[in-house]
Amino acid sequence: MPAASSLLASPLCTWLLAACMSTSFHPSDPLPPSISSPRRRLSRRRILSQCAPLPSASSALRGSSFHTLVTSYLACFEPCHDYYTSASLFGSRPIRTTRRHRRLNRASPSREAMAVALQPEQEVTTKKKPSIKQRRVVVTGMGVVTPLGHDPDVFYNNLLDGTSGISEIETFDCAQFPTRIAGEIKSFSTDGWVAPKLSKRMDKFMLYMLTAGKKALTDGGITEDVMKELDKRKCGVLIGSAMGGMKVFNDAIEALRISYKKMNPFCVPFATTNMGSAMLAMDLGWMGPNYSISTACATSNFCIMNAANHIIRGEADVMLCGGSDAVIIPIGMGGFVACRALSQRNSDPTKASRPWDSNRDGFVMGEGAGVLLLEELEHAKKRGATIYAEFLGGSFTCDAYHMTEPHPDGAGVILCIEKALAQSGVSREDVNYINAHATSTPAGDIKEYQALIHCFGQNRELKVNSTKSMIGHLLGAAGGVEAVSVVQAIRTGWIHPNINLENPDEGVDTKLLVGPKKERLNVKVGLSNSFGFGGHNSSILFAPYI
């Protein structure tokens, strides 16, 4: 607890002290001119001064706590008998006394001042927060659930081969929709990862999240023996979702049409975006930072940045972070169709997602999850973990312009990238690989490209690609999966192609964009962009661990 002298410097205590000291004159002292007139109605201050004198500030400070100090000064505001029998402060009608007030008056019939005892306490000293050396954050594990595979290596090899995961939707009959294609996950099993009872009740976004999270732990060498050695108070989960449990909620609405008794009792908790992180933490027994962030399609990057900050500040040593979404259901598809955001190239699904191509007609919906295992460097080295890359930092901004459209001059994106570079201590020349947000929308792709040219136009080594050309747009999970792509590029020395880039937009330099085949690149610093509805912009940076 701070010393009393420092407490008195606060606005609250200053006001209390000033108010109370102003009423502390003794009844025998001459009255101030403002209340010396015998004809003037007694003021509340005059009445209060006759009830309980205050201890002096110096005596109150000696050996007293803040609680007793405040109690002693608040005693001056306890009205006495004169107050309740005098004229009202706002009129001449007397104020009715209560049983409590009459009891208090009987206890002190003479209305003499009552002493207030101050309990002495031991002096408490304030400890200064120790300075913390900058803690480095590294990536030691990855987990994915995607249309191109559920293993980081399988997933990335398919990207390098230019394989498309876009196909016709099979989960439901979408004949009524103008869009009937998506980056749909055709085969997925939770066996060995999620308890069967939960697997039947949970929304897919939670199942994807739990599976990808546990796979990241396995990939990071967190075995049962290692788990026992971890300080679970400093292990956390920060995995978000843009849309949450839409199917669970939709099913509940359909059940409600019959009766509330037909509703899934888990419909509320399993629809919320935070419950995936919560359930994973319960499964692991991790008691550190645990929550989710929802910033539309920028969700994963926000989660990764905040998870890293928990490690940097010493609040955690290990964090699972990223994003998950599963919205390929009628209400999800219908909503985005109504927004006129989706491609309608149903006759040729693998050609539908085409960032920067002049013939693009909207993005393709995808689903899945991407999770990184972030760890404090010394903690990772101590347990002998394999370090894939180092997280350098990042930033986020808001366009504050439009719900779905990017800012016309790209101001928010430019500011975000520049802040990310400054926060990470990275120069523009050091960034030679960018995994762009590039969703295949007419306005979004070109605005991001222009922002990149503004920030990195003089860097001739720079290469840019978009993972979405092959898996579609995974919404809140996009940044997590694309962060895995950046880390894999650093690990392997290969960057994946941009497929379907046949007729680039006018003004787009194809030398900057990766071609139709994978390319060799010694990544110095890789940047991943994610932007979301509402004007959310985010940029994060990774580099080889040295």
Known catalytic residues are 297, 437, 473
Going from the C-alpha of 168 to that of each of 185, 344, 348, 357, 365, the distances in angstroms are: 11, 11, 9, 22, 11
The residue behind tokens 């059940």 is 255
Position 61, amino acid: L
The residue behind tokens 């004949």 is 175
Contact criterion met (CB below 8 Å) for 312 and 135: yes
Query: Rounded to a whole number, what is the largest CA-CA distance in the chain?
Result: 99
Contact criterion met (CB below 8 Å) for 474 and 325: yes
Contact criterion met (CB below 8 Å) for 304 and 479: yes
Q: How many CB atoms lie within 10 A of CB 527?
A: 28
Compute the distance between CA of residue 407 and CA of residue 13 in angstroms, rounded to an integer: 48
Bridge partner list, 376: 137
The residue behind tokens 């101590």 is 382
- What SS3 class is residue 375? strand
- Tell me whether residue 369 is exposed, middle or buried, using C-beta atoms within 10 angstroms of its C-beta: 0 to 12, 13 to 18, 19 or more: buried
Q: Nearest CA to 370 among 497, 532, 185, 192?
A: 185
Position 4, amino acid: A
First and final C-alpha spacing in the chain: 44
CA 20 to chain centre: 45
Please provide the DSSP assignment of 54-110 as one string: PPPHHHHHTT--HHHHHHHHHGGGS--HHHHHS--TTSSSPPPPPHHHHHHHHHSTT
CA dihedral 209, 434, 521, 350 (to 10 degrees): 60
The 3-state secondary structure of 273-342 reads: CCHHHHHHHHHHCCCCCECCCCCHHHHHHHHHHHHHHHHHCCCCCEEEEEEEECCCCHHHHHHHHHCCCE
Compute the distance between CA of residue 292 and CA of residue 281 in angstroms, rounded to an integer: 12
Bridge partner list, 357: 504
Contact criterion met (CB below 8 Å) for 165 and 148: yes
Position 119, amino acid: Q
Q: SS3 breakdown of the chain: % helix, strand, coil, rounded to 5?
A: 40, 15, 45
